[in-house]
């Protein structure tokens, strides 16, 4: 009898991880496949696609499982997965993360927002949505987002054995980083226990697909020039917001003394200044705000700030977009001239 709950025409159960370079989706996919193959005796494979191989640019991880008597002769990217794991909500603006999801598939999202908001942003009409605060768990346990996501993925793929995953975590870390074994197992367990689910019934009866199906959006007329990097991490847009791993500096102008300590430590010239006059009419430079397009979330500025003007905050979707102050210096490449 097959262990797999669903299979496509080729006999595969397929999982696609949508992530950003640096969040560990590649390793998560490898560990997930290993737990299914070594732990359950399934046939399986895993591979990733990196795009421009740049931290902050989109990454996809693919995992295929099938019964032991089925050979895997298909190593193409997974277009119509049964499960999708979204590691970072910044992906929504550059990737159609739910593209091709099977009608009865499950989408797992790393988020602190509620089901209705996430559903709306995904463009989801119906289906099962799972949400876990993987970043919050990782911060509390001093581990990484990928292990918490793995815990939640195991809860969704309940044919997999969580003990097999705990054994893989142990094997992966115990030689080089033995101190990381227990925190990672705890992170995995919390992801497994803390993921929540909501099933949405179809709202419309117009027989529209539940998600965008896997029709190619690029063709003969619309294909970009070969080798072009169209994701946001390219050298034209210079948008490094995808490099942030959940945190950014929030600026409160009311307590700012315009000392420029933040500007001195910022590696990416994110602070935007304007000339003005102080209370005595003397000319001075005043901090206007932060251009979050260039901010990678290192938080060096928060450490350097002598007042409470800069504070660390958990990034909310669209916060950076709504609070960014654009660079207007003509010598800052990519800045917007006023
Ligand atoms: S978090 Fe880092 S990159 Fe962002 S503004 Fe502060 S110092 Fe600059
Ligand atoms: S370090 Fe703090 S107080 Fe100084 S300019 Fe920057 S935000 Fe203002």
Q: What is the pLDDT of residues 25-58, one digit of tens each?
A: 888 999 899 989 988 899 999 999 876 555 667 8
Output the CA 248–ligand 1 centroid distance in Å.
7
Q: Mutation test of ligand 1: which of 245, 246, 270 has the most ligand atoms closer than 8 Å to its C-beta?
A: 270
**pTM, to two decimals:** 0.78
Does ligand 1 lie within 6 Å of residue 249's CB atom? yes
Question: E strands, 93-231, where?
Answer: 106-110, 127-132, 196-200
Name the token pair of 14.
């397929």
Mean pLDDT score, 165-192: 92
Cα–ligand 2 centroid distance for 174 (angstroms): 43
The single residue listed with the structure tokens 């044919």 is: 159
pLDDT reported for residue 179: 93
Give the total residue count for the chain: 338
pLDDT-derived band at 209, boundaries 50, 70, 90: very low
For the Cβ of 297 lying below 6 angstroms from any atom of ligand 1, the answer is yes
- Concatenated DSSP letters of 111-163: -SS-HHHHHHHHT--SEEEEEE-HHHHHHHHTS-HHHHHHHHHHHHSTTS-HH
Which phi and psi (to 5°) does residue 315 adopt? -70, 130
Q: Whose CA is nearest to atom 4 of ligand 2?
A: 259
Which of 139-143, 171-175, 196-200, 273-277 shows the lowest per-residue confidence on average (mean pLDDT)?
171-175
Q: How far is the CA of 333 from the centre of ligand 1 (A)?
A: 17
Query: Is 268 a pocket residue for ligand 1 (Cβ < 6 Å)?
Result: yes
Q: Distance between CA atoms of 105 and 229, rounded to whole angstroms?
A: 30
Number of H helices, E strands in the chain: 9, 11
CA of 234 to the centre of ligand 1 (A): 19
- The total of other beta-carbon atoms located within 10 Å of residue 319's CB is 14
Q: Which residues line ligand 2 (CB under 6 A)?
A: 256-262, 287, 304-305, 307, 309-310
Whose tokens are 């300590």? That residue is 261
Give me the pLDDT at residue 338, please: 36
CA-proximal residue: ligand 2, atom 5 (nearest): 258
If you ran DSSP here, which 8-state letter would residue 280 be given?
T
Phi, psi of 8 (to 5 degrees): -85, -175
Distance 302 CA to ligand 1 centre (A): 8
């Amino acid at each position: 009898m097959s262990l797999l709950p669903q299979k496509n025409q080729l006999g595969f159960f397929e999982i696609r991880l949508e992530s950003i370079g640096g969040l560990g989706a590649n390793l998560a996919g490898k560990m997930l496949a290993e737990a299914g193959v070594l732990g359950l005796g399934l046939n399986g494979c895993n591979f990733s696609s990196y795009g421009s191989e740049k931290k902050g640019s989109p990454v996809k991880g693919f995992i295929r499982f099938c019964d032991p008597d089925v050979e895997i002769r298909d190593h193409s990217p997974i277009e119509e997965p049964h499960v999708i794991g979204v590691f970072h909500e910044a992906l929504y603006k550059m990737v159609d993360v739910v593209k091709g999801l099977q009608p009865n598939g499950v989408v797992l999202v790393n988020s602190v927002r509620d089901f209705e908001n996430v559903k709306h942003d995904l463009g989801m009409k119906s289906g099962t949505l799972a949400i876990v605060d993987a970043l919050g768990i990782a911060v509390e346990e001093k581990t990484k987002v990928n292990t918490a996501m793995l815990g939640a993925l195991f809860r969704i793929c309940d044919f997999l054995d969580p003990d097999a995953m705990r054994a893989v975590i142990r094997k992966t870390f115990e030689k080089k980083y033995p101190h990381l074994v227990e925190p990672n197992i705890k992170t995995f367990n919390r992801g497994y226990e803390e993921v929540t689910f909501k099933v949405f019934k179809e709202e419309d009866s117009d027989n529209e697909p539940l998600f965008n199906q896997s029709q190619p959006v690029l063709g003969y007329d619309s294909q970009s020039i070969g080798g072009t990097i169209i994701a946001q991490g390219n050298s034209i847009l210079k948008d490094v917001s995808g490099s942030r791993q959940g945190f950014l500096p929030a600026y409160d102008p009311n307590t700012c003394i315009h000392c420029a300590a933040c500007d001195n430590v910022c590696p990416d010239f994110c602070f935007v200044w304007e000339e003005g006059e102080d209370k005595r009419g003397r000319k001075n430079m005043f901090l206007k705000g932060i251009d979050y397009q260039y901010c990678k979330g290192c938080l060096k500025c928060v450490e350097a700030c002598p007042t409470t003007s800069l504070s660390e905050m958990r990034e909310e979707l669209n916060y950076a977009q709504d609070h960014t102050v654009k660079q207007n210096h003509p010598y800052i490449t990519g800045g917007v001239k006023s």
